[in-house]
Copies of this chain bind each other. A is one copy, B any other.
Amino acid sequence: MKNYRIGIFGLGTVASGLIKILKKEKINYQNRFNVNFELSQVVVHDLQKKRAPEFDGLNISDDPAKIIEDPAIDIVIELIGGKTVAKNIIEESLQTGKHVITANKDLIASEGRKLSRLAKEKHVGLFYEAAVAGGIPILRSLSNSLASDEIEQINGIVNGTSNFILSQMRQNKISYAAALKTAQEKGFAEADPSNDVDGIDAAYKLQILADFTFGKQINQRDIQMGGIRTITQADLQDVTDLGYEIKLLASATVISNKLELSVAPTLVPKGHPLASVQNENNAVFVNGRYSGGLMFYGPGAGEFPTANSVAADLIELTKKIDQPESFNTNFSSDLTLAKPKDRIASRYIVFNVANRPGVMHKLSAFFLMSDINFRNIRQYDPVGDNTRVVIITYPASDAQLNPVKTTIRKARGVEIIHEFKLLIEPKEVTNA
């Protein structure tokens, strides 16, 4: 039996779940994996905070040195989140030869590569399965089972809050504001929901996913961003009638050796597995040259699902503790970022136009200018002096569409409410 001493930073939801799992499964892990995990020290920010009685026996301190400077501690688990303090903790732990497990997506999104290199240099492990899509084992699958494949595209519903809001709007025919309120009441959304509904949280996860999938550490500014705030019941009615669901997708696609990155509301055809992902669940759909279309579905957050991902990292780490191979250190590609002419998709565009003769004539002239063809058009009965027009186009590039949008912004009587892409589906692989 091998014994490992563990130090945990933080005692929030995930840490609580982990401590309960390690206690409950102690004998099970001893029998099955021949390891014993000994929880030596917990470090918290606020020592005065009231803790549940089940944590009574723990060594709790507010001094990070109790973990970092204790040579007996083998493995550090960082669960405080945020970028500054967490970064110091992880760097110092790696420097002193401790293995590190974290669930910190914000930090790993930008520093994952650098920290992984440091871990490799120090011959210790660094794992962070819980950082993306909570309980879904997507990083380990990309790193192990899918490493033999050439991935062409990855599409993730990786923000449970926004998926919950969109699902509630769709199921109960309620407004964005009402659905957000429900999400806040259930504890799925914060008082300021910006991080979730504007796609920032999903973008962090996309940075990590893109690194694992395409071997490239990307900047958040290279991701085309869009949020769900402007989506209305009228949109949901349109897309439902036309055979789609709207999902906030984090997407990374390789097209002719160019990498296209976006987090945005996207129209997903109803038959696609991503279309049926409801409420706070997450899913990541991976299109591989060989493996075809795979989807990994499950809870994207929560005390036990997320803690279980940390526990799985722990066990995997100890399986090859002498030569721990951190996630994804040897994989880099020379992909460049897609340019506007490379970013091709069908578009769902919603207009508010003046209700008078010639408006559709003018609108269609703008699109003809860029040689963009329409697939569906809907004009609704006017409300006041204006009317809602919805157009789905055939595939067109941003380079084609951007001048149309510029022209429309200058034109009178026509206004774009919003524009979402339709999911691009890679052609089926018929021959390697």
Q: Which residues of A pack against B, CB within 8 Å?
A: 17, 20-21, 24-25, 28-29, 32-34, 129, 135-137, 140-141, 144-150, 215, 271, 273, 275-278, 288-299, 302, 304-305, 307-309, 311-312, 314-316, 319-320, 323, 325, 330-331, 429, 432
Contact of A147 among B32, B273, B292, B298 (CB under 8 A): B32
The interface residues of chain B lying within 8 Å CB-to-CB of A319 are: 325
- Shortest Cβ distance from residue A11 to the other chain B in the assembled complex, whole angstroms: 16
The interface residues of chain B lying within 8 Å CB-to-CB of A140 are: 141, 144-145
* Sample (15) of A-B pairs whose CB atoms are under 8 Å apart: A17-B432, A32-B147, A33-B330, A137-B145, A141-B145, A146-B312, A149-B311, A290-B304, A291-B309, A292-B305, A294-B299, A296-B297, A319-B325, A320-B320, A320-B323
The interface residues of chain B lying within 8 Å CB-to-CB of A28 are: 150
In the complex this chain forms, how many copies of it are found?
Answer: 2
B312 touches A297 (CB 8 A): no
Contact of A292 among B21, B33, B299, B311 (CB under 8 A): B299
B305 touches A150 (CB 8 A): no
What residue of chain B has the Cβ atom nearest to residue A331's Cβ?
A: B32
- Shortest Cβ distance from residue A112 to the other chain B in the assembled complex, whole angstroms: 17
Contacts A141-B141, A144-B312 known; A297 to B278 CB distance under 8 Å? no
- Shortest Cβ distance from residue A248 to the other chain B in the assembled complex, whole angstroms: 18
A312 touches B147 (CB 8 A): yes
The interface residues of chain B lying within 8 Å CB-to-CB of A311 are: 148-149, 290
Contacts A294-B298, A304-B432, A432-B304 known; A25 to B147 CB distance under 8 Å? no
In angstroms, Cα B325 to Cα A323, docked, is 14
A148 touches B312 (CB 8 A): yes
B314 touches A25 (CB 8 A): no
B308 touches A291 (CB 8 A): yes
A135 touches B315 (CB 8 A): no
Contacts A17-B432, A314-B148, A316-B144 known; A308 to B293 CB distance under 8 Å? no
Q: In terms of DSSP, what is the predominant structure of the interface of chain A?
A: mixed
Contact of A291 among B32, B141, B299 (CB under 8 A): B299
In angstroms, Cα B197 to Cα A280, docked, is 36
Q: Interface centre among A25, A289, A294, A325, by most B CB within 10 Å?
A: A294
In angstroms, Cα B29 to Cα A148, docked, is 8
Contacts A28-B150, A312-B146, A312-B148 known; A293 to B299 CB distance under 8 Å? yes
The interface residues of chain B lying within 8 Å CB-to-CB of A29 are: 148
In angstroms, Cα B429 to Cα A292, docked, is 33
In angstroms, Cα B315 to Cα A384, docked, is 65
Q: Interface centre among A33, A290, A307, A316, by most B CB within 10 Å?
A: A290
In angstroms, Cα B308 to Cα A150, docked, is 10
The interface residues of chain B lying within 8 Å CB-to-CB of A271 are: 278
Contacts A135-B292, A276-B273, A298-B291 known; A432 to B34 CB distance under 8 Å? no
- Shortest Cβ distance from residue A90 to the other chain B in the assembled complex, whole angstroms: 22
The interface residues of chain B lying within 8 Å CB-to-CB of A291 are: 135, 298-299, 304-305, 308-309
What residue of chain B has the Cβ atom nearest to residue A19's Cβ?
A: B432
With A21-B290, A276-B276, A291-B309 known, 5 other A-B pairs at CB within 8 A are: A144-B312, A148-B312, A273-B276, A293-B298, A294-B299
- Shortest Cβ distance from residue A319 to the other chain B in the assembled complex, whole angstroms: 7
State the 4 A-B residue pairs at the shortest beta-carbon distance, nearest first.
A137-B145, A294-B298, A148-B311, A290-B308
The interface residues of chain B lying within 8 Å CB-to-CB of A305 are: 290-292
In angstroms, Cα B422 to Cα A129, docked, is 34
The interface residues of chain B lying within 8 Å CB-to-CB of A145 are: 129, 137, 140-141, 309, 312, 316
- Shortest Cβ distance from residue A75 to the other chain B in the assembled complex, whole angstroms: 14
The interface residues of chain B lying within 8 Å CB-to-CB of A147 are: 32-33, 312, 315
The interface residues of chain B lying within 8 Å CB-to-CB of A314 are: 148
B297 touches A21 (CB 8 A): no
A20 touches B150 (CB 8 A): no
